Amino acid sequence: MKSPKNKEYYLTLSIETSCDETSAAVLKNGREVLSNIVSTQIDIHKKFGGVVPEVASRKHVENIDIVIEEALSGAKINLKEIDHIGVTYGPGLVGALLVGISSAKAMAYALDIPLVGVNHIEGHICANYIEDKNLKPPFLCLVVSGGHTHLVHVKDYGIYDILGQTRDDAVGEAFDKVARALGLSYPGGPVIDMLSKKGNKAAIHFPRIYLDEGSLDFSFSGLKSSVLNYLNSQRQKELPIKVEDVAASFQEAVIKVLVDKTIKAAKQTKVDTIVLAGGVAANSGLREALLQETKKEKFHFKYPSLKLCTDNAAMIGCAAFYNYQQGKISDLYLNAVPNLKLGK
Ligand code: KG4
Ligand code: ZN
């Protein structure tokens, strides 16, 4: 197999198709992004109020070759110069994942270069290595996306200790479901974020769910139900609903718990740096609250730029580079693992 070790630099081609973004990127030495092409299907799924798996797979098939070609031409790199291929193999929608995996396998086989399967959650964490070239483990990472809510102690490159996670809905999922109940468009997170700026976050007291004493796990389904109950009760009583206030009060309940548990986890693990990752990391209220609290508690705080928060292949390429360096290479039997967990 080609791709000798100890080269001056390595070029990674990476692919991400776990949900509703078809993306390909080219990276140099894992942290320098030469191109990062993201073709989003949001407008297509909007009509259905959420991602339709079958439609997502078909769109990935239509887009994947175009996106890869754009990533290579944008980076001014010939496919033959690529050293290894990284691809998301889970967690995600099985049909969507298989499109990226099949494409990556075909290229790795044809070019005779290593194939590196990447965990999507690890990709989100690695987005921060691209954003801040000096960031090094250990640190504590709060991963918040449409499918995941994790507090992760990143002990070293590729070494993850999960300290807490959601027991039901992911944060992004709660944003999307509450938005839907308010008659707002998909994805709900950005809309609720925007409306919250115009609302009163103390208008309605929604529950802050902390679970058992000392637990670093999360639960958002009770909060979601509480918002739905509030809306039903207002409607039954024919009382007005101020959407901005509901959005701001809901967002505040989410942020309070996320921030409190993140600070607690950082103190427990004795790290000095807190890092934010995932689609919900784009939330302006969450960023602001963590900025203030980390300043008060004297932690360094890092978060990715908006483009690196939501799904993209550059973050997968970065994770693939570190996996490759550690010899974590996949074979051509690599399959999609829809419920893949982030291990130690
Ligand atoms: O990471 P991501 O692109 O996909 C998954 O891996 O799930 O995250 C998508 C999620 C959606 O639930 C979306 O509503 C949420 O991220 N999101 C936000 C914001 N931007 C995206 N949630 C809150 N505030 C935002 N500004
Ligand atoms: Zn994601």
Ligand closest to the CA atom of residue 285: 1
At 2 the pLDDT is 65
Q: Report mean pLDDT in 10-residue bins for the chain, 344 residues.
A: 75 97 98 97 88 94 98 98 98 98 98 98 98 98 96 97 97 96 94 98 97 95 97 97 98 98 98 98 98 98 96 98 97 97 80
Q: Which residues contact 277 (CB under 8 A, 6 or more apart)?
A: 124, 125, 127, 128, 141, 142, 143, 144, 145, 303, 304, 309
Residue among 39, 280, 286, 340 whose CB has most ligand 1 atoms within 8 A, to mutate? 280
- 320 CA from centroid of ligand 1 (Å): 23
Residue located nearest, by CA, to atom 3 of ligand 1:
310
pLDDT of amino acid 15: 98
**pLDDT attached to residue 50:** 87
Q: Measured from the CA of 278, which atom of ligand 1 is nearest?
A: 1
| Global pTM value | 0.96
Is there an atom of ligand 1 within 6 Å of 189 CB? yes
- Alpha helices (H) along the chain: 42-46, 53-75, 94-111, 120-131, 171-181, 188-196, 221-236, 243-269, 284-296, 306-309, 313-325
Enumerate domains of the chain plus CATH numbers. Answer: 11-127+309-325 (3.30.420.40), 137-304 (3.30.420.40)
Using an 8 Å Cβ cutoff, are 166 and 209 in contact?
A: no
CA distance from start to end of the chain: 29
Side chain identity at residue 169, one-letter code: D
Ligand 1 atom at minimum distance from 187 CA:
14
Which residue in 164, 124, 142 sits closest to 259, CA to CA?
Answer: 142
Q: Are strands 273-277 and 159-165 parallel, antiparallel or unpaired?
A: unpaired
Task: Quote the ligand 2 centre to 56 CA distance (angstroms).
Answer: 15
d(CA 68, CA 246): 42
The angle at the Cα of 313, spanning 311 to 318, to the nearest 5 degrees, equals 115
